[in-house]
Chain A
């Protein structure tokens, strides 16, 4: 049995954020579909591993995640069991992200409260019918967004380096015996953490907010959105030489069958210099 102290929980939170890593996962929606993009590193994973369909044949719901690949399996198996249960009881078409988020949230919280480590995963669920993203972080918090979502990127935030903060707080953090008012320190840490959280993502969010305001939801299509995701990743999450981008597109048009595919984008020198940003959704996906 692990005795869960506030310090341990804080440490677990920080550890989880560190394991989630420096990269971002971007998702942008368009009518009847969504595009998710993130870096792809061949050394670490095979393609198509960080995103999966929910309720397989319906092309309504999709999950995408960034973080520790080891923890994806836990999330996936939890989701699969819940999906199966809901499919048996009410039919797969009635599965909602609300239901899934509630179920997975409890998994995050249970792991955090009972385990030695958090599930180091930022999970995003998307419902094509509602144009709504559900973002679950490693602490089990659920946030909903429309139009676009940016998750991950906690390595962008400045570390809680004691040398850069208030001397009193630094003394306290370093375990100085003069620290008696731990409540004030905790508040300070929280404030810094709050400030730091989203610092790296803020620019990305601003960029996407601007773009999505210019091109409203109704005026976007898959090619535009894929290009936007790629452009965003190039600008704000420049991968190293060994890394590429992987985009996942899921579409469910009423008049056509659903589509779900992924593409690894080769990064040439040209694309790195943003001179050849081309991406088109292949036609064959509609022929299924």
Chain B
């Protein structure tokens, strides 16, 4: 496989080429871009994905940040790749969007060519190829910026009838987490915090309800410690479930996500006999979720 002049990686087949990411064509171009964007929008994020009994879950916070500036607190970071697979990524927003679009383009192309739906295992391999094809550019940016784009792909493999979670490093290394003892992965600036929660509490055949609570707990902790992750008590966690035998991924409603986050938070305060518990409103939909009644003080 050779690199050709137009920046695409020529592969057999006329329409199935892995495009080099448009903005990263040459070293000079990259240096220029990095210099020009020394305040580049870097994404502080926490995304978790793990298996539970008869399914896979992926959850993410809502914050996009640029250094110490919160760019948006409403970002939905999990996207569907197909009806039974989910994508989440940490890193530079521009790169994330470009790699996602490239992945979708190639999946479309291959599905048309092979005349079959690609399951999540094939999608994972395809994403690996995209990252590796662009490894040079991504490594260079990664060297300058710390990290560039680190995706997670998770879903239910309808052909093998088993869950799949693929984790990647920033230059295209692929890890099938479902082949490990700990079938979970995290990514982003708050990923390590969330991972420590999962290490403590994740169980292989946990129920769906327990899995949802664990994911929200992990994001709640990450949000309370990591500056790049939104507070799950304020910005509802985005949480998707892919269940075995279902037709599509389902999303937990924002209201439920907030409610569970508040329940977990309240439970923790109660356990610690924290006086702030008295001022916390349990139903987030009935008013401001973080304020107590006026005059009594105690807002978090």
Contacts and interface: CB of A to CB of B under 8 A. Distances in A.
B13 A90 contact: no
A102 interface: yes
A91 B115 contact: no
Contact of A89 (B116, B119, B129): B129
B202 to A, nearest CB: 28
Contacts of A98: 113-116
Contacts of A86: 114
Interface residue SS majority, chain A: helix
B3 to A, nearest CB: 16
B121 interface: yes
Contact of A90 (B11, B12, B110): B110
Interface in B271-290: none
A12 to B, nearest CB: 24
A88 B11 CA distance: 11
B126 interface: yes
A85 B16 CA distance: 10
Given A82-B13, A103-B13, A89 B115 contact: no
B114 A91 contact: no
Nearest to B116: A96
Interface residues of B, number: 18
A85 B118 contact: no
B210 interface: no
Given A82-B12, A85-B13, A88-B129, A99 B122 contact: no
A91 B128 CA distance: 12
B122 A94 contact: yes
A94 B120 CA distance: 11
Contacts of B110: 89-90
Contacts of B115: 96, 98-99
Interface string A86-108: 10111101111011001100000
A288 interface: no
A86 B115 CA distance: 13
A96 B112 CA distance: 11
A99 B113 CA distance: 5
Nearest to A93: B159
B125 interface: yes
B95 to A, nearest CB: 21
Given A90-B110, A94-B116, A98-B116, A85 B122 contact: no
Interface string B102-116: 000010001001111
A98 B110 CA distance: 11
A94 B119 CA distance: 9
Contacts of B114: 86, 90, 94-96, 98-99
Contacts, number: 45
A2 interface: no
Contacts of A81: 12
A90 B108 CA distance: 13
Interface string A195-207: 0000000000000
Contacts of B11: 85, 89
A86 B16 CA distance: 10
A91 B16 CA distance: 15
Contacts of A96: 114-116
Q: Most chain-A CB neighbours within 10 Å: which of B114, B121, B129?
A: B114
A252 B119 CA distance: 21
A193 to B, nearest CB: 31
Contacts of A85: 11-13, 16
Nearest to B132: A88
B205 to A, nearest CB: 25
Contact of B125 (A82, A90, A95, A99): A90
Contact of B122 (A91, A102, A103): A91
Interface in A127-177: none
A199 to B, nearest CB: 33
Contact of B126 (A90, A99, A102): A90
Nearest to A103: B13
B220 to A, nearest CB: 37
Contacts of B129: 88-89
Contacts of A82: 12-13
Interface in A50-107: 81-82, 85-86, 88-91, 93-96, 98-99, 102-103
A82 to B, nearest CB: 6
A15 B293 CA distance: 93
A86 B122 CA distance: 10
A3 to B, nearest CB: 25
Interface in B11-31: 11-13, 16
Nearest to A82: B12
Nearest to B106: A89
Given A93-B159, A95-B114, A99-B115, 5 more contacts: A85-B13, A89-B16, A94-B114, A96-B116, A99-B114
Those 10 A-B pairs whose CB atoms lie nearest each other, nearest first? A98-B115, A90-B122, A99-B114, A96-B114, A85-B12, A94-B122, A99-B113, A81-B12, A91-B125, A96-B116
Interface of B: 11-13, 16, 106, 110, 113-116, 118-119, 121-122, 125-126, 129, 159
17 contacts: A81-B12, A85-B12, A85-B13, A90-B110, A90-B114, A90-B125, A91-B121, A94-B116, A94-B118, A94-B122, A95-B114, A96-B116, A98-B113, A99-B113, A99-B115, A102-B113, A103-B12
